[in-house]
């Protein structure tokens, strides 16, 4: 069975290289973008688990900077984004492992990276709206 | 001994609970920002980065040929060619601008989703999340389809400056507005 996780990465890397051939920072760009998609994916899952009272994580807050903006972003980053930074770095980019992944999955014609990304972007937004509508006052 | 009227007591309890919930709801809806939050500065920074240097042709360096910190801005967009400027690392200002802009977009979106998950979201939070989503779609279109959506950049930029303006005037109104002109008497303005 093909590993969907690697197929998403393979499609994403090939797409950004194809459509942005002169982009020097393509590695960090696609790394941050797909990791952000994973964070949104995780957020959507936890949001609905919270709604159905299956798993409610305690509120994680950071109070380092003045105001709420940076602290809120840091809390989101640590809770949802950082785990996938570590995971994706070691599974994809450490020792240029992505080259082997592209060798193995590059020939498979799919749009998994594209479909996954647009699903997560729109899924997160509509989940937020739906959660607000369905949540009791 | 006085008889207990359970029905009346229950009605009072329900009315009290409803009233308290109503007060809490409107207090949340009308909560003003008493201090300029960092999001204002981030909105301005993102706008400036997008409009100001995101489309610039300028280049810059941080160190000279000896490796000593010596930042220089090249308005002509100069980059090292051949022996001229050999050993210099020169960067494009537009790349820096786009990164700052994208970073500001991520910060706004991350904060919005964090507030929604924690149950502390307000109406403006969903607007932030929506604009952040539009920015992410623009990145998606560029990375996966090589399409630059011109309107999105302008839209996000306009939203950034409107949002920043809103924050600034809310802050000014809360701290220096009509309610402060006559002490604590908010009705004197209309007399």
Could you please report the per-residue DSSP string of A70-135? HHHHHHHIIIIIHHHHHHHIIIIIGGGHHHHHHHHHTTS---HHHHHHHHHHHHHHHHHHHHHHHS
Across A53-63, average pLDDT: 82
Any domain includes B116: yes
Instruction: Compute the half-sphere exposure of residue A19: CA atoms within 13 Å on the CB side of its CA.
Output: 18
Interface A-B, measured as beta-carbon pairs within 8 A, has a size of 104
Q: Which of A4, A3, A113, A74 is nearest to B114 (CA)?
A: A74
> Which residue from A minimizes the CA distance to B118?
A59
What average pLDDT does the segment A86-93 reach?
94
Span B67-84, mean pLDDT? 80
- The pLDDT assigned to B154 comes to 60
Partner-chain residue, chosen from A67, A76, A128, that has the shortest CB–CB distance to B110: A76
**Is the dihedral angle over the CA atoms A14, B97, B78, B64 positive or is it negative?**
negative
The verdict on residue B100 lying in a domain is: yes
- Does some domain include residue B50? yes
| B143 contacts on A by Cβ (under 8 Å) | 12, 15-16, 19-20, 29-30, 33, 117
* pLDDT at residue B53 tops 60: no
Within a domain: residue B29? no
Can you give the residue range of the structural domain that contains B112? Answer: 42-55+95-175
What residues pair up with B61 in beta bridges, in sequence order? B72, B90
Q: Kindly tell me if the per-residue pLDDT of A41 is higher than 80.
A: yes
Helix (H, G, I), strand (E, B) or coil at B92: strand
Give one word for A95, left, alpha or beta, with left for phi > 0 and alpha for psi -120 to 50.
left
For residue B106, the model assigns a pLDDT of: 76
**pLDDT for A57:** 81
Q: Which residues of A touch B117 (CB under 8 A)?
A: 43, 46-47, 50
Residue B13 lies in a domain: no
Q: What is the pLDDT of residue B32?
A: 45
In this prediction, residue B66 carries a pLDDT of 80
| Cα separation of the two ends of chain B | 53
- Separation of CA B135 from chain center: 13
Contact residues on chain A for B37, CB-CB shorter than 8 A:
67-69
Sign of CA dihedral B108, A44, B137, A84: positive
Coil, strand or helix: which one is B84? strand
Averaged confidence pLDDT in chain B? 71
Percent of chain B with pLDDT over 90: 0
Mean pLDDT (whole number) for B125-151: 81
Asked whether the beta carbons of residue B37 and residue A29 sit closer than 8 angstroms, the reply is no
Tell whether the model's pLDDT for residue B7 goes beyond 90: no
Instruction: Return mean pLDDT, chain A.
Output: 87
Question: Residue A9: how many CB atoms within 10 A of its CB?
Answer: 26
pLDDT score of B4: 60
pLDDT of residue A46: 93
pLDDT of residue B31: 46
CA dihedral A16, A18, A21, A25 (to 10 degrees): 20
Answer yes or no: are the C-beta atoms of B98 and B49 closer than 8 Å.
Answer: yes
pLDDT at residue A90 greater than cutoff 50: yes
A-chain residues near B91 (CB < 8 A):
none
Number of domains in chain A: 1
Smallest CA–CA distance from A128 into chain B, residue: B116
B107 within domain boundaries = yes
**Does residue A87 have a pLDDT over 90?**
yes
- How far does the CA of residue B182 sit from the closest CA of chain A (Å)? 29
| Residue B153 domain-assigned (yes or no) | yes
Report which of residues A4 and B121 the model is more confident about: A4
Give the range of the structural domain holding residue A89, as residue numbers without chain letter.
4-134
Residues 6+ apart with CB under 8 A from A49: A55, A56
Nearest to A8 by CA among A27, A35, A29: A35
The number of distinct structural domains making up chain B is 1
pLDDT the model gives residue A97: 93
Q: Return the SS3 of B168.
A: helix
**Residue B144: inside a domain:** yes
> Is some CB atom of chain A closer than 8 A to the CB atom of B38?
yes
């Amino acid at each position: 069975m093909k590993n969907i996780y690697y197929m998403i990465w393979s499609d994403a890397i090939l797409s950004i290289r194809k459509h942005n051939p002169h982009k020097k920072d393509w590695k960090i760009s696609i790394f941050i973008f797909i990791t952000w998609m994973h964070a949104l994916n995780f957020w959507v899952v936890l949001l609905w688990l919270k709604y159905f009272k299956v798993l409610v994580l305690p509120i994680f807050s950071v109070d380092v900077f003045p105001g709420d903006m940076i602290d809120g972003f840091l809390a989101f980053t640590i809770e949802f984004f950082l785990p996938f930074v570590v995971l994706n770095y070691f599974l994809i980019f450490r020792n240029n492992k992505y080259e082997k992944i592209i060798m193995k999955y590059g020939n498979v014609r799919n749009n998994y990276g594209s479909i996954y990304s647009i699903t997560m972007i729109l899924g997160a937004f509509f989940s937020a709206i739906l959660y607000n509508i369905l949540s009791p006052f | 001994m006085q008889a207990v009227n359970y029905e009346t007591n229950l009605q009072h309890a329900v009315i009290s609970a409803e009233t308290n919930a109503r007060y809490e709801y409107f207090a949340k809806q009308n909560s003003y920002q008493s201090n300029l939050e960092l999001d204002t500065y981030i909105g301005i920074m993102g706008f400036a980065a997008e409009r100001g240097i995101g489309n610039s042709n300028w280049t810059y360096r941080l160190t000279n040929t000896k490796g000593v910190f010596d930042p220089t801005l090249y308005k002509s967009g100069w980059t090292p060619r051949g022996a001229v400027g050999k050993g210099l690392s020169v960067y494009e200002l537009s790349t820096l601008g786009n990164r700052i802009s994208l970073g500001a977009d991520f910060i706004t979106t991350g904060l919005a989703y964090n507030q929604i998950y924690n149950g502390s979201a307000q109406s403006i939070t969903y607007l932030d999340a929506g604009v952040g989503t539009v920015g992410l779609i623009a990145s998606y279109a560029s990375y996966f389809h090589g399409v630059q959506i011109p309107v999105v950049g302008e839209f996000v930029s306009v939203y950034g400056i409107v949002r920043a303006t809103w924050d600034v005037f809310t802050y000014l109104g809360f701290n220096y507005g009509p309610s402060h002109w006559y002490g604590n008497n908010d009705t004197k303005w209309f007399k």
